[in-house]
Amino acid sequence: MSKTGTVYLIGAGPGDRGLITVKGQKLLQKADVIVYDYLVNTDLLDFAKENAEIIYVGKKAGQKEMSQQRINALLVRKAKRFTTVARLKGGDPFIFGRGGEEAEYLQEKEVSFEIVPGVSSVSAVPAYAGISLTHREFTSSFTVVTGHENPSKGKSNIPWEALSQIGTIVFLMGVKNLKKNMLKLMGAGKSPDTPVAVITWGTYPVQTTLTGKIANISDLVNKRKDITSPGIVVVGEVVNLREKINWYESAPLFGKTVLVTRPKKQSESFINLLEAKGARIISFPTIEIAPPKSFQALDSAINSISSYDWIIFTSVNGVTAFFKRLRELSKDIRVLYGAKIAAIGDITSQAVKNMGINVDLVPEDFRAEGLIKLFKKHNVNDTKILLPRAKIARDLLPQTL
């Protein structure tokens, strides 16, 4: 092959951002260009490096889309200019993802490529709905079928008679043609009483699951406005397992939406906790952490740090900014030897300890009021206190002290 960058056809998983593979995540972190589809969870783009070029080429029914030919050509152009091109596709790129077509095109154009398999929605979405595709008491096999065949083929290639004999059937992209496909199954001899589950936006916090039977599932879906594409249809007795093992939709915060206003880098652990309980998270930072326009006041304080009796840290941001500036002034923690340290909150306290300094005072109430109450037990008259903090912080602490 000619000398080009490498295009990585990466499976992004079915939706839940935690289901991307370790290899896929590492490639996103180093990619120069990321080309992604409609069904990719955009939270995965947070892994991209700051200067990465991010290109959306999603295909959604009823909307103007970039043709497959243009996507193929785009991948080749980017591979000729950049070292690492990440082609991010929902689920697994080789399962109804047109990854094979893209790989063929890259091969023809002598562009280096690699395949990074992903967790497929075929198994993951039913699992998140509490449905095991195989089970010793029900079936030892399952079949995966597209619910939306290529209309240009004219004649269906699906062997409906053979399909009707299979224990579990999974229709991907199965919502739009649900009624048509159920009629074909019944026409091929499948019992109209066979259980069916329709799962939309599977593995996302907005996942919706509706169960019924082959004979009535289409009518049930038509009565619901929340059953929309993308969706998977599972047909078979294993659907009844959902009554016992519906774990994901039973989470305490499932169906709840939480708006998180902290900066993303500082809210990640909190977001992970909420997501583990089933919540849908909207990250909407309302403040930006930025250095001051002038370091004059902080530099003056640091240069006379030996004159301070106490240094109070009210946030992790304050700790980070203070010690960063300390290093920029060619100083280190040894200059703080004469001052006692107070911190509001265990996390702030730990941030100070991570700098190699013990904390003398941490209030039980993680607010300025708690520290003020605690300081009343100490004689702070005629003491000099340094309070490195954000510009928008409350005035209660400096005014009271």
DSSP 327-389: HHTT--GGGGTT-EEEESSHHHHHHHHTTT---SB--SS-SHHHHHHHHTTS--TT--EE---
Q: In the predicted model, is pLDDT for residue 316 greater than 80?
A: yes
- Is 246 in the same domain as 153? yes
Instruction: Say how far apart CA 52 and CA 310 lie, in whole Å.
Output: 44
Q: In the predicted model, is pLDDT for residue 263 greater than 90?
A: no
The proportion of the chain whose per-residue pLDDT surpasses 90, expressed as a percent, equals: 58
Nearest Cα neighbor of 103 from 91, 115, 85 is: 115
- Is 34 in the same domain as 87? yes
Query: Which amino acid is residue 54, in one-letter code?
Result: I
Using an 8 Å Cβ cutoff, are 212 and 193 in contact? no
> What residues pair up with 168 in beta bridges, in sequence order?
142
Classify 307 as helix, strand or coil: helix
pLDDT-based confidence at 372, cuts 50/70/90? low
Instruction: Say how far apart CA 39 and CA 27 lie, in whole Å.
Output: 19
Between 12-16, 49-53, 120-124, 360-364, the lowest mean confidence (pLDDT) is in: 360-364
Query: Which amino acid is residue 219, in one-letter code?
Result: D
The pLDDT value recorded for residue 61 is 55
More confident site: 311 or 23: 23
pLDDT-based confidence at 340, cuts 50/70/90? confident
Residue ranges making up the domain that contains 91: 6-119
- CATH assignment of the domain containing 73: 3.40.1010.10
The proportion of the chain whose per-residue pLDDT surpasses 70, expressed as a percent, equals: 90
Q: In the predicted model, is pLDDT for residue 266 greater than 70?
A: yes
pLDDT-based confidence at 128, cuts 50/70/90? very high
- Is 232 in the same domain as 260? no
Name the residue with tokens 């200019």. Answer: 81
Q: Cite the active site residues.
A: 37, 59, 173
**The total number of structural domains that make up the chain:** 4
- Is 156 in the same domain as 141? yes
Q: Phi and psi (nearest 5°) for 371?
A: -70, -40
- Is 88 in the same domain as 66? yes
| Chosen domain end from 288, 315, 340 | 288
Classify 256 as helix, strand or coil: coil
pTM (two decimals) = 0.78
